[in-house]
């Protein structure tokens, strides 16, 4: 395995975003920021973070549980070719769970475009 971390995804939403890296030890690192909008620093201060998960599946579970009602509004800016299929499969599984919730609303065509899915 490489001795450097490998960028596997860049995901963003209005006002913030994050990069996902595969670390040399096989763990996943999320490094991101949000807020800090110019002219609105007092009400929306800059927040930066780095979190580590044991695997991509563990990271995905935390990401979708933390952002359950809006994770699908995030846009995929970059997906490493070796991880595209795995991340797409995790996203599709989560979308199928969302469909069972009557209060959920999402546009399948928009999701196919932003998450590069075949729904």
In order, the DSSP letters of 28-48 are: EEEEEEE---TT-TTTS--EE
pTM of the complete model: 0.77
Summarised one tens digit per residue, pLDDT across range 74-119 is 888 899 999 988 988 888 888 777 777 665 566 667 666 666 655 4
- For range 10-21, the mean pLDDT: 88
Q: Please name the helix (run of DSSP H) or strand (run of DSSP E) that holds residue 53, with its range, or none.
A: strand 47-53
CA–CA distance, 51 with 94 (Å, rounded to integer): 21
pLDDT at 55: 96
**DSSP reduced 3-state for 6:** strand
pLDDT at 112: 66
Summarised one tens digit per residue, pLDDT across range 27-59 is 999 999 887 666 666 666 778 889 999 999 999
C-alpha radius of gyration, the chain, whole number: 15
What angle, 0 to 180 degrees and rounded to 10, lies between the N-to-C axes of helices 84-99 and 56-66?
40
pLDDT at 119: 42
């Amino acid at each position: 395995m490489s001795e450097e971390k490998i960028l596997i995804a860049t995901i963003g939403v209005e006002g913030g975003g994050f990069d996902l890296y595969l670390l040399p030890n096989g763990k996943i690192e999320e490094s991101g920021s949000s807020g800090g909008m110019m002219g609105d620093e007092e009400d929306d201060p800059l927040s930066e973070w780095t979190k580590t998960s044991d695997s991509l599946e563990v990271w995905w579970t935390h990401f979708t549980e933390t952002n359950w009602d809006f994770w699908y509004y995030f846009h995929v800016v970059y997906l490493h070719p070796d991880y595209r299929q795995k991340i797409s499969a995790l996203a599709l599984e989560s979308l199928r769970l969302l469909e069972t919730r009557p209060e959920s609303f999402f546009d399948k065509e928009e999701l196919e475009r932003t998450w590069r899915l075949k729904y």
